[in-house]
Amino acid sequence: MYLPGELTSALARSQLQRLAETTARSQRNAARLGERLARLSGVEPPRVPPDRTHVFHKYRVRLDRARAGVRLGPAALRDRVLEALRADGVEAVRWQTAPLPAHPLFASRERSSERYPNAEAALASTLVIGSQSYPLFAQPLEVVDAWADGFEKVWDAIRS
């Protein structure tokens, strides 16, 4: 059983009082970052349908190599961008490196070699801005703008 302890539960309960504020900050940061990244040809920030909301626990960005005019494969482009972003001080990570059904916990012996090409393609062409240590919701706008500046710089360098 994975029941939290009393102290963990008390801390979580106290954080619920700030949930609306935290969600609003995350949405503000995501809007600011999305506005900047959407200007870059071949970069697709997350889209939220008009009748939905999003808390941006993870801010996953898709890199479209064809629209960017880059000859690298999807994973090679992602890895190069990721390395350059980190070198430039942008907090970026790979999150969810394999489709969930491919994880040993969910795989059965008779289906262990099954492939999930659509999920694998999505994971190969995406990265996440922010991390567990530096989540988007906790950042001031100055950091969000610095991340956007770094992404623009890296993207321009890779495309040239």
Domain extents in the chain: 11-159
Where would I find the H helices in the chain?
A: 6-15, 19-37, 65-68, 74-87, 117-124, 141-159
pLDDT digits (tens, 9 = 90+) for 146-158: 999 999 999 999 9
Residue 80: predicted pLDDT: 97
Question: In this structure, is the dihedral angle defined by the CA atoms of residues 141, 143, 148 and 149, taken in order, positive or negative?
Answer: positive
pTM above threshold 0.85 = yes
List the end-to-end C-alpha distance of the chain, in Å, as a whole number.
Answer: 53
**Could you tell me which CATH number the domain at 11-159 has?**
3.90.1150.10
Residue 101: predicted pLDDT: 83
| Residues with pLDDT less than 70, the chain | 1, 108-113
